Structure 1
Amino acid sequence: MVARRGSCCDGGGPPLSAWGRRSIMKRRWKIAIGVVLFLVVAAGGLFAWNLLKPAKPAEIVDAGTTGRRIDEGGLFANYFTAGQARRPGILLLGGSEGGLGKDLKLQALLLQKAGYNVLHLGYFNVPGKHSKLERVPLEHFYRGLDWLKARPEVDGTALAIVGYSKGAEAALLVATRYPGVRAVVAGMPSNVVWDGLSGPAILFGGISSWSQGGTPVPSLAYGSGDGSKDLLPVFVNALAELGKHPETEIPVERFAGRLLMVCGERDLLWPSCPMGRAVEARARKAGRPAVQLLTYPEAGHAVMGAPLPPEHKTMRHWATIGGTAQANAAARADSWPKVVAFLDATLANPPAP
């Protein structure tokens, strides 16, 4: 008997025709393409989910025995009154951490003790507000200032805004648009309006951090990184293109009050000292506002805030984005009394005509 010649594909059966072999190859290609498409769609879905998923809930601390929670009229805040008739009011703003955190509460308590009525405002990632820092309505800050002015214990002619990081960016921007603010303290400041801090804003650009009347405030897109996880090059490279986008620079000259800025030269989050000097240069060229810039050569992004010892966990955490715990603690110990003295000097007397 003559043995039958088998096929590689049929385990010894009759050989397949050329048409059969092509049919098998087509099926294999379809399966492979299907698998690839599935992986692409799955990866795209995961990517989109990561971009659009809600932010993790931010820290929201209780106001404590000397304060109270405000959750009314579109405001979510902690309020600390000085308990004296007709004392100045301060709108206190945190940064990109959102919520109502411990570090800002410590500042609020110190300002309260110094004789100020303080509204620590939650402007994103709090109940009733957007979970991400993008297109935050400036009207929210205006509403906070209006609320302070309406309080019987607040001197409505003596209003200040104190903020750090993104809160400093908001503070300076609001002061150029809301009449009657007499003082701004900007810790780790910015001279421009930046794109929002959300996945789509960072990846695609064109989504501002702030809006007014439903219209986004012109914002500067982030630049390219250097291949590392550091954020500083993203901001530095973006600022190198600022000349092409002058509409994104904060028009500080529209603020008629007094401005104090505090920055650390070793800030690794964003270039707060170069941006502070840019604000100062623009103000001096325009002739207003009166500006004071405090710089600390060895401090980082924790340069301003409630004084804490270097071994405190907050100072150890902040040291990861610039400076050392010791340098940041020393900068806070030096800058905070100057912040209070600046507020005392600016708000103690009636405003100039």
Structure 2
Amino acid sequence: MRWKNAAMVTAGITTLLGGAALFKGLAPNRYGLPEIEVLAPGATGKRVAQGELFGNYFPAQGPDAGPGPHPAVLLLGGSEGGLGSGARQMALALQQEGFAVFQIAYFGAPGQTDALEGIRLELFDKGLDWLKTQPGVDATRIAVMGASKGAEAALLVAARRSDVAAVVAGMPTSVAWNGINWASGGQSDRSSWTAGGKEVPTMPFGDWDQADGIISVYRTIEDPARQTEADRAAIPIERGRAEVLLVCGEAETMWPACPMSRQVAARSKARSGPPVTVLSYKDAGHFVFGPPIARDHRFYPRLGEYGGSVEGNAAARANSWPQVIAFLRRAMVDT
């Protein structure tokens, strides 16, 4: 990653936090680094700490759960790392809809690197394999869900696993990007991900534009002259079998999630891949994805901070979340 102004890089990366960071204070600690939450699962879940695997598991509950076996979701947070409260909120909402959920940590948790770089995709494979063996889980009905950088990982995982039935990605990308390392001000020269011991190819960043903000460095993905580089770094969604649902805001100011969502859909269609549905919202941004938020919640006034209005993001979440649940039920429960 070579952005022209290191201070701008740090400020920009600080805000590139997935939906799972929604309820964090985002205040840096005494070392100037962002705090990483590693939250306990609460009364309806349990902590998982088995070898490389670290996370919170939430067995299926809810009035419609029934005796099982139940469909299950591997849930990936974003660049906030650890086990964040926003992702836990998603996990609890899914749990009450009758899904078993494994909220897996992939950096920033005990025994893990503090940097989002060189994360082994095989870790998510192990998470899926563990999830499929849990009592009451139907191993034939598995989905992956993620937001922002977690969406990037979710799509990569779905592309390499033929046993994943569905993938839901909020504020997604169509390509892999470089990682995030707070020890170097947020910058990293490494890919976010590795597979088979090799770094996943990444899309080069563009130059910082002060007027456009952080999204400016991601505009390379919209440049026809960079198509060869985009193809090299593209997530090969056509290799998987999972039905795909993407949720994005057209007013996004973090990265161009809606244009990249349409690129994912176009690539899959052109290469005879799985069906891809895009839910886009005109007046929403980087907080477009997740369960609805009540007006009296302390975070509600901040929903429009990274694109769109407060009301637009709130309406998008209220509209899209029931469609997420319906999509998962159709793709997994009703098969």
Name the TM-score, length of structure 1 as normaliser.
0.80
1:162 match: secondary structure = strand
Equivalent residue, structure 2, for 1:275: 260
User: What are the superposed Cα offsets for residues 240-276 of structure 1, whole Å, 9 maximum, x if unpaired?
Assistant: 2541312101111111120000000011001000000
Give the superposition deviation at 1:118: 0.2
Question: Taking every aligned residue pair, what percent have the same amino acid on both sides?
Answer: 43
Say whether residues 1:296 and 2:278 are aligned partners: no
Q: Which has the higher contact order (CA 8 A, sep 6+)?
A: 2
Is the Cα–Cα contact under 8 Å of residues 245 and 276 in structure 2 kept in the other structure? yes
2:174 aligns with 191
Q: Structure 1 residue 142 and structure 2 residue 125: aligned?
A: yes
Q: Please state whether the residue corresponding to 1:234 is helix, strand or coil.
A: helix
Q: CA deviation at 1:150?
A: 1.1
Mapped partners of 2:35, 2:54: distance in 1: 15
Structure 2: how far apart are the matches of 1:208 and 1:138? 12
- Once the two structures are overlaid, the 10-residue window that deviates more, 262-271 or 309-318, is 309-318
SS of the residue corresponding to residue 224 of structure 1 reads coil
Pick the structure with greater CA Rg. Answer: 1
- Larger mean Cα displacement after TM superposition, 265-274 or 85-94: 85-94
Q: SS at the partner of 1:321?
A: coil
1:201: how far off? 9.6
What secondary structure is seen at the aligned counterpart in 2 of 1:78?
Answer: strand
Amino acid at match of 2:140: T
Alpha-carbon separation, structure 2, partners of 1:192 and 1:242? 12
CA deviation profile, 1:305-342 (whole Å, cap 9, x unmatched): 01102453333334211112211111100000000000
Cα offset, 1:186, TM superposition: 0.6
Alignment correspondent of 1:127: 110
Contact between 2:117 and 2:188, CA under 8 Å: does it hold in 1? no
Q: Give the structure 2 partner of residue 259 of structure 1.
A: 244
The answer to whether the 8 A contact 1:91-1:144 is kept is yes
* Structure 1: runs of 5 or more not aligned: 1-52
Query: What residue in structure 1 maps to residue 162 of structure 2?
Result: 179
Instruction: Summarize the alignment of residues 299-310 of structure 1 with structure 2, pairs less than 5 Å apart.
Output: 299-310=284-295
Aligned equivalent of 1:348: 333
Distance 1:55 1:253, change over 3 A: same
Alignment partners' CA distance in 2, 1:57 and 1:140: 23
Under a length normalisation based on structure 2, what TM-score does the superposition of the two structures give? 0.84
Two-structure CA RMSD over aligned residues (Å): 1.9
Q: CA deviation at 1:142?
A: 0.6
Residues 326-337 of structure 1: pairs in structure 2 closer than 5 A: 326-337=311-322
Matched to 2:36, the amino acid is: A
- Describe the superposition over 1:2-58 as per-residue Cα deviations: whole angstroms up to 9, x where unpaired: xxxxxxxxxxxxxxxxxxxxxxxxxxxxxxxxxxxxxxxxxxxxxxxxxxx895441
Unaligned runs of 5+ in 2: 1-30, 62-66
- The separation in 2 between residues aligned to 1:73 and 1:88, in whole angstroms, is 24
Structure 2 match to 1:315? 300
Alignment partner, residue 39 of structure 2: 61
Check 1:244–1:318 CA distance in 2 against 1; reply closer, same or farther (3 A cut).
Answer: same
Q: Is the 8 A contact 2:180 2:188 kept in 1?
A: no
User: Please, which of 130, 134, 141 is the counterpart of residue 151 of structure 1?
Assistant: 134
Say which SS state the counterpart of residue 320 (structure 1) adopts.
coil
Where does 1:107-126 land on structure 2 (aligned, <5 Å)? 107-126=90-109
> 1:36 matched to which residue of 2?
none
Say how many residue pairs are matched: 297
Separation (CA, whole Å) in 2 of partners of 1:250 and 1:283? 10
| Residue-by-residue CA offset, 1:59-85 (whole Å, 9 max, x unaligned) | 122211111111112111111001543
Q: Deviations over 1:140-186 (max 9, x none)?
A: 11111000011121111100001111111100001111220000001
Q: For 2:220, what is the secondary structure of its paired residue? A: helix
Report if aligned partners of 1:55, 1:132 keep a CA contact under 8 Å in 2.
Answer: no
**2:148 aligned partner:** 165
- Of the three residues 219, 227, 230, the one matched with 1:243 is 227
Contact residue 311 and residue 325 of structure 1 kept, 8 A: no
Q: What letter corresponds to residue 131 of structure 1 in structure 2?
A: D
Q: Distance in 2 between matches of 1:57 and 1:127?
A: 14
